[in-house]
Amino acid sequence: MIRFLKIPTTILGILLLCLSTNLSAKEKQMNITLIPALGDNYIYLISWENKGIVIDPAEASPVLTEIQNKQITLRAILNTHHHSDHVGGNEQIKEQTNSPIIGPDDRRIPGLDQVAKEGEAVSIDGITFQVLSVPGHTTSHIAFYLPEMKWLFSGDSLFAGGCGRIFEGTYEQMLTSLKKIATLPEDTQVFCGHEYTQNNLEFALSIEPNNPAIQQRLANVKQKRSQHQPTIPSTLAEELLTNPFLRSNDPALKQALGMENATELEVFTKVRQLKDSY
Ligand code: ZN
Ligand code: FE
């Protein structure tokens, strides 16, 4: 033991150097930048050292400006689904940075190079995302989860305080997708596709006016928005507590809707329909 403590610092230095070639995502000191786009979209730029990954580039120009300002070499473009407000910048960014486009198995993704499927890991320079299939908003919608940082990129599946409209899938699919997300660690940080949080929570409060957790969260969100700050990320714990779309089985929500004896899917469907006409 005493001998071990006397290992010369040069040897320790060599050991550390060896370790540093195999740094995990966390040790890489990853940063995340929110790039607002098209009014209420967020594009996310993950960066480390001088490399980057962009998620759901709604448009090219703010991304190209950001990576130029930060001297970042882009390594990949990730897409959660094919809607233009998530892929609009794909081809121009790919052309200018030679980055591969990784997204769901859907020919509607412009310039798709690599398909990301549930159960498969997507690795970019040692940064490994888990892929979750989360249909409902669209049939091929996926989410990317980065376990080492507990970062979830949910696109238009789970929103802060809400969920995406069901355009192509079924209510059942969307409910299953959200329940899958709900199994991630509670301290997961949720980076969703849009700044819809205030409207989502106003809706949530309209169906449950006496819910103190929603009241408090809405007050916090209003405060942030009044200072033009993003409300993203939220944590999964906050969502489980206040997002009605993750609480379809909660007796308090069922009671507020007068649906005490309804199934989880019936409650979810009702809440989604009420939100559509809110
Ligand atoms: Zn969408
Ligand atoms: Fe969207």
For residue range 141-167, list pLDDT tens digits in order. Answer: 999 999 999 999 999 999 999 999 999
- C-alpha radius of gyration, the chain, whole number: 21
Q: Considering the entire predicted model, what is its pTM? A: 0.91
**Catalytic choice (56, 82, 141, 156):** 156
Above 50 in pLDDT, residue 120? yes
pLDDT tens-digit readout, 167-207: 999 999 999 999 999 999 999 999 999 999 999 999 999 99
- Cβ contact 142:190 at 8 Å: no
Task: Return the ligand number nearest the Cα of 168.
Answer: 1
CA angle 89, 177, 207 (to 5 degrees): 100
Strand partners, 142: 133
| Residue 228 known to be catalytic | no
Based on the residue annotation, tell me whether 156 is a catalytic residue of this protein. Answer: yes
Q: Quick check: is 106 catalytic?
A: no
Cβ contacts of residue 67 below 8 Å, gap of 6+?
Answer: 45, 52, 54, 73, 74, 97
| 2-276 fold | Metallo-beta-lactamase; Chain A (3.60.15)
Query: Taking a C-beta distance cutoff of 8 angstroms, is the pair 250, 243 a contact?
Result: no
Of the candidates 154, 138, 69, the one whose C-alpha atom is nearest the C-alpha of residue 106 is 138
What is the DSSP pairing of strand 51-55 with strand 41-48? antiparallel
Question: Is residue 82 flagged as an active site residue?
Answer: no
Residue-level pLDDT at 14: 41
Q: How far apart are CA 56 and CA 65, in angstroms?
A: 16
pLDDT, position 28:
76
Among residues 125, 194, 228, 276, the one annotated as catalytic is 194
pLDDT tens track for 128-146: 999 999 999 999 999 999 9
- Kindly list the domain boundaries of the chain, sorted by start residue: 2-276
Helices (H) and strands (E) in the chain, counts: 11, 14
The one-character DSSP state at 136 is S
